[in-house]
Structures are given as C-alpha cells and as structure tokens.
C-alpha cells in the first residue's frame, strides 16, 4: 500500500507539472501568437531547462496536440453545463444559448481558438485522439439541429447538412473577425460578437421560410 501511495503521489506531482506546462504555454501563445510558442520561453518561465520539458511531452507538436484536445474538451464541458446538448430544454433556446456560449468561450480563449479553428502552425496536424472531442461535438450539434427542425423551428424539408455548414461559417466568421480585429474586446461589447443575435436571426429566418432549394 505504501508503494501504491508513493506512486499516486508521484503521478499526481507529474500531472501537476503537465498542467503547469500547458498553462504557461497558453500564456505564451496568448502573448506571442500560437506560432510564437517556444519551448525555451516555457522553460524560462517555469525556471527549468528546455530539455526537461521532454520528460512530459514529446516535443512542441505534442504540446500543441494536448492543447488542441483540451480546448475541445473544455468547450464540450461549458456547452454541457449550459444545457446545450441535453434533451430537456426547448431546442431553439438550447441552440441560441449554445451558440452564444460557444462564441463567448472562443473569444475568451483566443489562443485555444486559433489553434482549434485555424491551422496556424506549419507542421502540426492534430492526432486522432485530439480530434475525438471535436468530432463528438460536431455529432451532438447535428443531432440538436435535427431536433430543432423536428420541433418546427426549421422548415421540414431543410437540408440539414447544408444548414449546419452555413451555421458553422456564420458563427466561425463572427469569432474569426472578433479575434483578428479586436481580440481585447469582451464578448458582451465586441464589435463583431455584438452582431451575433442578428446573425442567429438571419440564419433562423432563412431556414424557417426558405428551404434548401437553390
């Protein structure tokens, strides 16, 4: 039992170090840009030497990969807490609020967002494991979209896939513009996040009256 306790303690300590590395990396990325992350700067802020980081991550890309996965998992979590993926609430409310929560999270986590939504790092491609929560969230969003249609908020013959793609473009556009042009503005009063209600109305109106025909 003593050995197991020591192992737990050691593993917990290790986990704490991993968390610290990731937190510091996010801070560096927020200040210097996602591609401006350097292992030297992370090590410097932690008071260790760059090679020591290799005891926790297999290089810089592994760090990006962990941040990519954690970003999607964190987004998943806030959406679940907002009740956006549950079956209880009215689909329309869930859709509207879920979208707002998504955009808020994105602008409040610019470094994660840039890594997740754009691909600013030359050689980096997320692993299948890191991609998993993104795929799950995609599937959950499509399910909710179907419920939105079945509840009569969208035209019965709407092209769900096309409508979903359109929605991602609109929401992604608001996030993109806000982060590129005014990253320091808060969600509530952002130059672009402020038009999110308009954008939602636009999308809902279009798919309520105008079906996918074109």
Partner DNA sequence: GTCTATACTACGATAGAC
Partner DNA sequence: GTCTATCGTAGTATAGAC
Binding site for a copy of itself (CB under 8 A): 32-36, 117-123, 162, 165-166, 168-174, 176-177, 180, 191-192, 195, 197-199, 201-203, 205-206, 210, 214
Q: Does 12 bind DNA (CB under 7 A)?
A: no
Q: Which of left, alpha, beta for 33 (phi over 0: left; psi -120 to 50: alpha)? A: left
Nearest CA to 53 among 81, 86, 14?
Answer: 14
Question: Could you say which of DNA, a copy of itself, none residue 168 binds, taking C-beta under 5 to 8 angstroms by partner kind?
Answer: a copy of itself
Q: Does 60 bind DNA (CB under 7 A)?
A: yes
Q: Does 115 bind DNA (CB under 7 A)?
A: no
Nearest CA to 193 among 81, 108, 72, 84?
Answer: 108
Which of 25, 26, 37, 67 touches DNA (CB under 7 A)? 37
Which of 39, 79, 116, 199 touches DNA (CB under 7 A)? 39
Cβ of residue 1: shortest distance to a copy of itself, in angstroms? 50
Choose one: 45-53, 75-83, 138-146, 183-191; the region binding DNA (CB under 7 A).
Answer: 45-53
Which of 6, 33, 52, 165 touches DNA (CB under 7 A)? 52
Cβ of residue 35: shortest distance to a copy of itself, in angstroms? 4
Query: Looking at beta carbons only, is 11 or 93 nearer to DNA?
Result: 11
Question: Could you say which of DNA, a copy of itself, none residue 176 binds, taking C-beta under 5 to 8 angstroms by partner kind?
Answer: a copy of itself
Cα–Cα distance, 58 to 68 (Å, whole number)? 15
Cα–Cα distance, 106 to 110 (Å, whole number)? 6
Cβ atoms of 50 and 43 within 8 Å: the answer is yes
Close Cβ partners of 170 (under 8 Å, ≥ 6 residues apart) = 199, 202, 203
Cβ of residue 201: shortest distance to a copy of itself, in angstroms? 7
Number of chain positions touching DNA (CB under 7 A): 22
Cβ atoms of 119 and 134 within 8 Å: the answer is no
Nearest CA to 110 among 44, 36, 167, 58?
Answer: 36
Query: Looking at beta carbons only, is 31 or 150 nearer to DNA?
Result: 31
Cα–Cα distance, 38 to 32 (Å, whole number)? 10
Cα–Cα distance, 91 to 144 (Å, whole number)? 7
Which spans of this chain sit near DNA (rule: CB under 7 A)?
10, 13-14, 17, 37-41, 47-52, 54-56, 58-61
């Amino acid at each position: 039992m003593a050995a197991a306790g020591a192992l737990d303690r050691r593993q917990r300590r290790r986990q704490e170090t991993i968390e610290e590395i990731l937190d510091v990396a996010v801070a560096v990325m927020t200040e210097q840009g996602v591609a401006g992350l350097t292992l030297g700067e992370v090590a410097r802020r932690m008071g260790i030497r760059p090679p020591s980081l290799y005891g926790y991550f297999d290089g810089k890309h592994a760090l990006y990969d962990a941040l990519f996965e954690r970003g999607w998992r964190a987004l998943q979590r806030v959406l679940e807490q907002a009740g956006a993926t549950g079956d209880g609430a009215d689909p329309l409310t869930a859709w509207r609020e879920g979208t707002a929560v998504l955009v808020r999270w994105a602008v409040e986590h610019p470094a994660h967002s840039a890594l997740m939504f754009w691909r600013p790092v030359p050689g980096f491609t997320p692993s299948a494991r890191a991609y998993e929560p993104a795929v799950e969230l995609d599937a959950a969003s499509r399910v909710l979209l179907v419920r939105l249609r079945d509840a009569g908020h969208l035209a019965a013959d709407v092209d769900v896939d096309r409508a979903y793609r359109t929605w991602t473009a609109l929401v992604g556009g608001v996030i993109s513009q806000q982060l590129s042009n005014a990253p320091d503005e808060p969600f509530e009063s952002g130059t672009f996040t402020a038009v999110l209600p308009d954008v939602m109305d636009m999308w809902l109106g279009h798919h309520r009256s105008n079906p996918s025909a074109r």
